[in-house]
Structure 1
Amino acid sequence: MSRKVPPLNPLRVFECVARQGSFTRAAAELFVSQSAVSRQIATLEEYLGVKLFIREQGGVFLTDAGEAYQQEIGPAFSAIASATERLQTTTLTSPLRIQVYTTFAAKWLIKRLNRFNQDHPEIPVRISTSVAPINFSKSNADAAIQLCDRNSQGEKGEHLFDDIIEPVCSPNLIRDDAPLEKPEDILKYPLLQSHYRKTDFGDWLRFMGSRFNNENEITEFPSSLLAYQGAIDNLGIAMGQTRMLQDEFKSGILVRPFEKPLTRSLAYFLIYPEGQLISPKMRIFREWLIKEIEEDVL
């Protein structure tokens, strides 16, 4: 047998009027007109078949039936309000977990996180790193930032910025007898590449109308982060992700010998668990992230 529950909106209005002792104050709390409050009370009284309020010149007063009803449902509404507040507080203040690539975390995200922490100290952020595609069924991450193909990921993730690459090196690396004038001149130097980005040099050279010599000396590193450090330390030329190296360009420890960036079909996306609502804390982080990207002038 189903429970007999009155219409919930009129019931909420009744609780508010009974607590406030006034149709006017209840209307202000509920952000509705006083006439709307009156209609909701009339609806509830009609449903119950009981008069709940006496309207007199001095104000509005609960009837005996209304007083008894309020004593029973008032604690229920109070419990609902308390439970809702606790849930929202717990949801907002629990750590926000984001999975990203190590290079993205080290060269872009972490240096900006202090600004988020200052603006939102109530939302602790936990960063984990992985190059594997996110599997939310096996991860406790709230979201991930991953490099994906724009054509295949567009409907499942939120585009942050494109993968833009070009050769980078220390200004001290370039020799007078081997100037970097033509794209193929990079082949006169050792090349530094990430294990996970093995096609970057070939892609860029083809973009520039040159051929890639696979016999050229290539030093492979476990990550782009180490390849960039190798370039800083004069080990050779790396294929840099322009967006990740703005500080190095500004300080002069890395240079862009050609300033001919290639925008690839890949891009960084913010990805959420499929089929789940985005939490309030995730919305706050997302808005901050987009703002940082918009203000990140190349």
Structure 2
Amino acid sequence: MKLNRRNLPLNAMRAFEMAARHCHMRRAAEELGVTHGALSRQVKQLEELLGVSLFDRSHNRLSLTHAGQRLQQSVQQALDLMTTGALYLDPDSMNGDLTLAATPSAASAWLLDIIGRFAQQYPEINIQLRSIPPRIKHIDSQVDVAVCYGAPESSTRNITALFRERYVPVCNPKLLTGNRQIRQPLELLDYPLLCDRHNNWPRWFQAAGFAELPPYKQLLLEESFLVLDAVKAGYGIALADRVEVHRELNNGQLIALFEESLSAAEEYYLVTQQQTPSLRSQLFIDFLRQAIEPIVAME
């Protein structure tokens, strides 16, 4: 049978996409709300219609064939486009939902404050913030605007660089007892150095001209937001980006000890829908840029 728009088996395509995503017929059937047998029959009928095997069913395991991988990519993109089109039937309405996504560290350090101020200015917009991991490859089609650490791989999204973090040593001024001042980088070693699992301190000291360091006290915390909490509490000295701690630097809760900075390995990227963004999305994009551009310009 020659395929065209009139005889395209959309239900079977949807069943295949779900099965391909899970590589498990029963789980796919449960998510679609159909029986295992019904979903298996739809996939089998699609294979017969196309004349190719979409799954390798050997050894009691389900995996995509080369043809299945190619079809999965095409069907996924088509379903994403249809979903997006349905979501934007009234793109110019202020009343409605705005789905955002960001890494937990970006959200807790600086983005949540911007979202809060945006929500106060536009109370008619319902905001949902989703958590995504760093270096994510695919953004869910229902996300309107994402702030990603590292550029995702997507041909259906607009991806623009937002800024690259530049880390400087900061501390709570109460940590410096009496009139003591830190004037040389090696004097930082007199205090606990706070770091997350990436530990950028050796790289910062090397950039400052100190390749070899004597033993020093270190407090290792799993996540970067824990490091920020610890430095605000006065437990030691941390490397932080000015965007992350601009409020604390402005109100004196933290002070920057040196101007020497270290560039992060990745940039933050703004990821938006490929077609013209909705009014709600565009308002947030403009609000976000206006909030961070003056801070980034100071770095």
TM-score computed with the length of structure 1 as normaliser = 0.58
Q: Structure 1: where are the runs of 5+ without partners?
A: 1-83, 150-154
2:173 is paired with a residue of what secondary structure? coil
| C-alpha contact 1:167 1:256 (8 A) present in aligned 2 | yes
The residue correspondences of 1:103-182 to structure 2 (distance < 5 A) are 103-136=105-138, 140-148=142-150, 157-175=159-177, 179-182=181-184
CA displacement at 1:258 relative to structure 2 = 1.7
CA–CA distance in structure 1, aligned partners of residues 270 and 292 of structure 2: 12
The residue number in structure 2 matching 1:261 is 261
CA–CA distance in structure 1, aligned partners of residues 266 and 214 of structure 2: 23
1:88 is paired with a residue of what secondary structure? coil
The residue number in structure 2 matching 1:64 is none
The amino acid of 2:160's aligned partner reads E
CA–CA distance in structure 2, aligned partners of residues 135 and 93 of structure 1: 30
Cα deviations across residues 57-104 of structure 1 (Å, max 9, x unaligned)? xxxxxxxxxxxxxxxxxxxxxxxxxxx9x9206976442221112232
1:202 is paired with a residue of what secondary structure? helix
The equivalent position to 1:194 in structure 2, one of 177, 193, 196, is 196
| C-alpha contact 1:178 1:185 (8 A) present in aligned 2 | no
When residues 118 and 295 of structure 1 are mapped into structure 2, their CA distance, relative to the original with a 3 A threshold, is farther
CA–CA distance in structure 1, aligned partners of residues 212 and 289 of structure 2: 36
The residue number in structure 2 matching 1:32 is none
The amino acid of 1:294's aligned partner reads E
When residues 114 and 179 of structure 1 are mapped into structure 2, their CA distance, relative to the original with a 3 A threshold, is closer
CA displacement at 1:241 relative to structure 2 = 1.3
When residues 138 and 110 of structure 1 are mapped into structure 2, their CA distance, relative to the original with a 3 A threshold, is closer
The residue number in structure 2 matching 1:286 is 285
Cα deviations across residues 262-287 of structure 1 (Å, max 9, x unaligned)? 344532211236x6664443222212
When residues 101 and 174 of structure 1 are mapped into structure 2, their CA distance, relative to the original with a 3 A threshold, is same
CA–CA distance in structure 2, aligned partners of residues 137 and 258 of structure 1: 37
2:168 is paired with a residue of what secondary structure? strand
Cα deviations across residues 224-246 of structure 1 (Å, max 9, x unaligned)? 22112211222111111111111
| C-alpha contact 1:179 1:185 (8 A) present in aligned 2 | no
CA displacement at 1:176 relative to structure 2 = 6.4
The amino acid of 2:289's aligned partner reads I
Larger CA Rg, structure 1 vs 2: 1
1:211 is paired with a residue of what secondary structure? coil
Q: Structure 2: where are the runs of 5+ without partners?
A: 1-85, 152-156
CA–CA distance in structure 1, aligned partners of residues 251 and 141 of structure 2: 38
| C-alpha contact 1:184 1:211 (8 A) present in aligned 2 | no
The amino acid of 2:113's aligned partner reads K
When residues 214 and 137 of structure 1 are mapped into structure 2, their CA distance, relative to the original with a 3 A threshold, is farther
Runs of 4+ that moved beyond 6 A: none
Cα deviations across residues 184-243 of structure 1 (Å, max 9, x unaligned)? 222222111122xx2421221122111254853322223222112211222111111111
Identity %: 24
When residues 201 and 164 of structure 1 are mapped into structure 2, their CA distance, relative to the original with a 3 A threshold, is same
CA–CA distance in structure 2, aligned partners of residues 264 and 106 of structure 1: 18
CA displacement at 1:165 relative to structure 2 = 0.6
The residue correspondences of 1:67-106 to structure 2 (distance < 5 A) are 87-88=89-90, 93-106=95-108
Provide the alpha-carbon RMSD of the alignment. 3.2
TM-score computed with the length of structure 2 as normaliser = 0.58
The residue number in structure 2 matching 1:248 is 248
CA–CA distance in structure 1, aligned partners of residues 179 and 291 of structure 2: 42
When residues 216 and 113 of structure 1 are mapped into structure 2, their CA distance, relative to the original with a 3 A threshold, is same
Aligned residues: 206
The residue number in structure 1 matching 2:28 is none
When residues 212 and 148 of structure 1 are mapped into structure 2, their CA distance, relative to the original with a 3 A threshold, is farther
1:128 is paired with a residue of what secondary structure? strand
